[in-house]
Chains A and B, each alone.
Chain A
């Protein structure tokens, strides 16, 4: 269940390009950590290296350690597929499997893990859809394709799909950026709900959102063009938004950036 991350001296590369420099960060369990910072500073890159999705890109690699409850997910004997099974991810654009039914979408991760029992799959589908606040909207059309839902519903379907496997951590990369304000609120409520059970890391460009949903905020910045992104500071969200210790952070959150 909910686990903690300890990121130690993490350097991330795309081929020869050094994208992120030496991140040190602790992510406590049952807690929401927000990543904020200007475009291109490496928020998504760091997030994707927390479930080993970064290395899916040809030439991409990382150096350093990412400890999940003390176990390095980059240790040589660790299978990235196993890592991704225990660390769920929600993407910027909803990406349900378009030809699969709503229910099959939700239980896709369980099926991959080898669960075949129909009753169990049905139960998990209902529990996850309820968990994602989508059950009432789709319970009469579970067999219809997931591609037929609205954007906000699709994103909640993706959240349901991610929590169906009861991951240790849930990573979200700007999960609301493609959604309208109502769907955004629905997902923010959901995040507040989910943090009782899950460790959550969320990337957002929306300061209010970071302030509303997160307990701790990490501010990333670029020192210059072609330079790697840096973690500037991390602290309680309240502290970051009221009294940050770095000038750059203050400039960024008050909109005096660049």
Chain B
């Protein structure tokens, strides 16, 4: 706890001088130019949008998939078969981010191009699918990044869910089966209510990872001179990838401070997500006992 406060304090002290000389609104401006220290113009709007959208895509895909896999492993497959399967999923967590990034940029992105084009043109009535500030060619957009992130956070969500689903009291499971519940009905009446808070907490952990993921996103997303159009087919930067991309230029304290300010926002945001996860998990526990 103390170290967290110290880190926050450090970030704040470094960020304040730059924030004081920022010539545009830090929170609402999509612009980011820190080259001229006499005229700093930096705002985090688009960083926030891209960070949230890519993490959201990741969660929307990873949450149901992880739930399905965790249920399948714990309550459908016999343990002997489930164990190697679970091991393979866990192995995904050991793949370095840079490998995911390369794969996303070189393989998945191009492969998703037709699907992206379809969604972007035919389903553009859905706000998050309409518009794009980078070319669809090559798939260097949030959509691709989100899918790669979903694979990266799948192991943690699956592992936590598996753990809680496994702990469903046998008494309750048998109670449901003895009433004539099918396996799925048993899962719905006992395993899911029992594991709900753990599953949500696991998903929040995954979200925390997605929010902070750096190098994979940096390799996948193309930058755009245009502001965000609030679409998953935009390019741009997340907080983390923006900061990493500028690392070679951290010699001028005032422009560095701008990036540290962005880092501070990411820090607070991630912290809030984790606190929320803890709150949800705690509330679920109180209810179950």
Contacts and interface: CB of A to CB of B under 8 A. Distances in A.
Partners in one complex: yes
Given A88-B179, A165-B180, 7 more contacts: A81-B180, A82-B180, A84-B177, A85-B180, A97-B190, A100-B193, A108-B189
B179 A85 contact: yes
Given A91-B171, A99-B193, A81 B288 contact: no
Contacts of B177: 53, 56, 84
A182 interface: no
Contacts of A255: none
Given A98-B288, A99-B287, A112 B181 contact: yes
Interface of B: 78-79, 169, 171-172, 174-182, 185, 189-190, 193, 287-288
Interface string A81-108: 1101110110101011111100000001
Q: Which of B181, B193, B288 has the most A CB atoms < 10 Å from its CB? A: B181
Contact of A95 (B78, B172, B288): B172
Given A97-B190, A97-B193, A81 B174 contact: no
A58 B189 CA distance: 21
Contacts, number: 62
A95 B180 contact: no
Contacts of A161: 179
B78 A97 contact: no
A58 B180 contact: no
A94 B174 CA distance: 11
B171 A93 contact: yes
A28 B287 CA distance: 44
A148 B181 CA distance: 24
A91 B179 contact: no
A53 B180 contact: no
7 contacts: A53-B174, A58-B78, A84-B177, A88-B178, A93-B171, A98-B172, A100-B189
The 3 nearest A-B residue pairs measured at CB:
A85-B180, A89-B178, A95-B175
